Chains A and B, each alone.
Chain A
Amino acid sequence: MTARMTIPLCLFLALSASACGSAQTERGPQPPAPRPPAAYTVGRTLLGLPGHDRVTLATAPVTPLAGWLTPVAVPSPDGRFVAYNAWRELREDDPALSWEDQGIETGDSLARPSIRLHDLRTGKDSAYVVGAFSLAWRGDGAIAYFKGAGHDYRAGLRYVGDVFVRDSVNAPPQRWTEKTDRYVVAGWAGSSLIVYRVRSGETLDVLALDGPGRQRVLASDAGIVAISPDGTSAFVEHGPETGPPRVDLIAISNGTKLASLDLSTVDPAVGVVGYAGDWQGDFVAAPSASGLVVFRVSGGRIDLARTMRAAAGQGVAEPRFVGPSRVTGWTSSSSGGAFVDCDRVSGRCARTVPLPTARGVDGFPAWRRPVYNPSRPQEGEA
């Protein structure tokens, strides 16, 4: 190599090294790796519960008849139990084919939902109520759930039943609903139980049950985003089918509308807001058209605080606040679920797939869902 070639080459290498160093300095520290919610399931594995590194449930928690209107699994307030939704398929039902093409006739039993109880102290995992799904734990240990009039989900028949409440796990059940219908239990707001009534066309009404036979409609054509930390109000969403989409703050005690925000007047990325979000301090997180959105609720007002963008076309469900700076949610695909971890400051979201090699059970993909108790107040919040 001649000096004529060596000098320019050294100069080039020096400049390249300098440029790389400069770029590294500008990029700054790498953002932390995306993390899942505080507690979550992957298939039938439950992770993140305080004091329990990893719990194996008897079957995978799933909520076919409730989607994410209700959590898939809920820890008891005293930390002793996890109650979760299970589903035993009695007959294969190929989603690509019609019932007629599969020889399924009206009344045929297709599946049997149940609520199971996992005792974290003893490890015992048993069926708690067969023919039931969706549950809520109250702070004092009372448990509410929907139980079908029959055990089985049958083709061509509405899966109707009633909502029952037990003062404790082993107490006798009391029927709280006035009329047998389709209900999904969402959570407790103080001493009122918040449930959905599912009408024809999957229309959702939000009801407050104040005791046996004492029920009120809190909001029609609506979904519950979250119950306030003190349990006195609910943040509900209305889609665009009955007017401009909006979110309302509703008093649990009498259904009074305390505040409202017309979503057609804010950042268009919000679009519509979905149900099953979270409330921490003055902030409410909810699914939105762009991914996730955070509202500020204070002084009798609802304001848009932050929009967070998930990957295009990626719907995010069940957002949960994790500490002061993150919101996690989950998203689904045909191969199972993944978590989405969003930074409240930057508004950016990233995917994470804990236990990536996990396999589904009982014909279901390896679902990844958060485990939480949406009921309020919780210990320390009253």
Chain B
Amino acid sequence: MRIALLAGLVLCCWTVGPASAANGWWTFDRNTNLNSTLTWKWTYPPSPAEYSRSWRGGSGTTMDECEIGRCWLPAGWYAQKGHWDHYDGSKVKGRVWWVQDKTCRDGSTRRTELFVHSEETASNGQSCTSTYDDPFCWERESDYYSNGCIKLARPSPVAGFPNDLGAAHATYHDYGGKSAHGAYDNVDANELYVYS
């Protein structure tokens, strides 16, 4: 009987935990290339009450959202195409979220290859070896710049930036983010909204 009660209690706590009950999505408020705001928002349906946590995010090096490889993400809703803990791309590695392509405000140009990421290795470490800038080491303010993606800071052996990537990753999984990893077979409900 005691075992049955304990099992029931565990099941109860498991089912009411935040990961299984919450419904979450990202928003990105474009302010400047170096200092914008990435937010994870979530609700506990059917309650409409919204909860959120925010981090400083950088994006692009210019503000013309149609400039491929240079500017921040175009405004609008994005489906999420995948999430990895150990992504091993040539430029983008580690904990990343991949979002859909998006047509920019000119109604023609498509921005592609868009991620939320940081500067870390595929094993979530730091590779800080050169005198100025390593692509997988978060050394300085200018690391918030990107070719178009949203970038979050993380600590490194050479600089004391906050662990925003770690916090965003934990919040995502704790409060409604999809538990699956890798590329999704279908586009995902954990969408991203980029404000204009």
> Which A residues, 235 to 294, have Cβ-Cβ distances below 8 Å to chain B?
239-243, 245, 272, 274-275, 289
Q: A159's closest neighbor in chain B, by CB?
A: B112
Task: Convert B89-113 into 0s and 1s, putting 1 for each residue whose CB lies closer than 8 angstroms to a CB of A.
Answer: 1111000000011111111111111
| A residues less than 8 Å from B113 (CB atoms) | 158, 182, 198-203
Q: Which of B117, B132, B185 contacts A106 (CB 8 A)?
A: B185
* A residues less than 8 Å from B70 (CB atoms): 223, 239, 272, 274-275
* B68 part of interface (Cβ distance < 8 Å): yes
Assess whether B109 is in contact with A67, with CB atoms less than 8 Å apart: yes
Which residues of B sit under 8 angstroms from A65, Cβ to Cβ?
A: 110, 112
Query: CA–CA, A158 to B112, complex, Å?
Result: 8
| CA gap between A367 and B108 in the complex, in Å | 9
CB distance from A325 to the nearest CB of B (A): 27
Q: Please, which residues of chain A bring their CB within 8 A of the CB of B107?
A: 95, 334, 363-365
List the one stretch of A97-105, A140-148, A344-352 in contact with chain B. A97-105
B61 near A200 with CB under 8 A, answer no
Asked if A98 and B68 make an inter-chain contact with CB atoms under 8 angstroms apart, the answer reads no
| Number of B residues, CB within 8 Å of A | 54
In the assembled complex, A62 has its CB within 8 A of some CB on chain B: yes
* CB-contact partner of A243 in B77, B103, B132, under 8 A: B132
Determine if A156 is an interface residue (Cβ-Cβ < 8 Å): yes
Instruction: Please list the residues of chain B having a beta carbon within 8 angstroms of any beta carbon in chain A.
Output: 61-64, 66-70, 74, 76-79, 81, 89-92, 100-115, 117, 132-133, 135, 142-143, 145-149, 183-189, 191
The distance in angstroms between the C-alpha atoms of A207 and B186, with both chains bound, is 34
Given contacts A198-B69, A202-B147, contact A315 B132 (CB under 8 A): no
Q: How far is the CB of A293 from chain B (nearest CB, A)?
A: 14
Is A95 touching B103 in the complex (CB atoms < 8 A)? yes
- Contacts A100-B191, A241-B61, A364-B107; A67 near B67 (Cβ below 8 A): yes
The answer to whether A97 touches B76, judged by C-beta atoms less than 8 angstroms apart, is yes
Interface size on A, residues (CB 8 A): 56
- The answer on a CB contact under 8 Å between A67 and B145 is no
Interface centre among B112, B135, B146, by most A CB within 10 Å? B112
Contact across chains for A334 and B91 when beta carbons are under 8 A apart: no
A-B contact count (CB 8 A): 165
The A interface is mostly helix, strand or loop, or mixed, namely: loop
Known: A69-B68, A106-B185, A200-B90. A241 touches B147 (CB 8 A): yes
Task: Report which of B62, B100, B133 forms a contact with A98, defined as CB distance below 8 A.
Answer: B100
- B104–A243 CB distance below 8 A: no
B93 to chain A, nearest CB (A): 9
* Contact (Cβ within 8 A) A200 B89: yes
Contact in complex: B115, A95 (CB < 8 Å): no
Q: Answer yes or no: A322 CB below 8 A from chain B CBs.
A: no
A204 contact set on B, CB distance < 8 A: 68-69, 147
Nearest 3 A/B pairs, CB to CB: A241-B145, A98-B77, A315-B64
Q: Does A59 contact B (CB under 8 A)?
A: no
A333 surroundings in chain B (CB, below 8 A): 106
Q: Which residues of A contact B111 (CB under 8 A)?
A: 202
Whether B147 and A98, one on each chain, are in contact in the complex, defined by CB atoms closer than 8 angstroms, is no
- A79 on interface, CB distance cutoff 8 Å: no
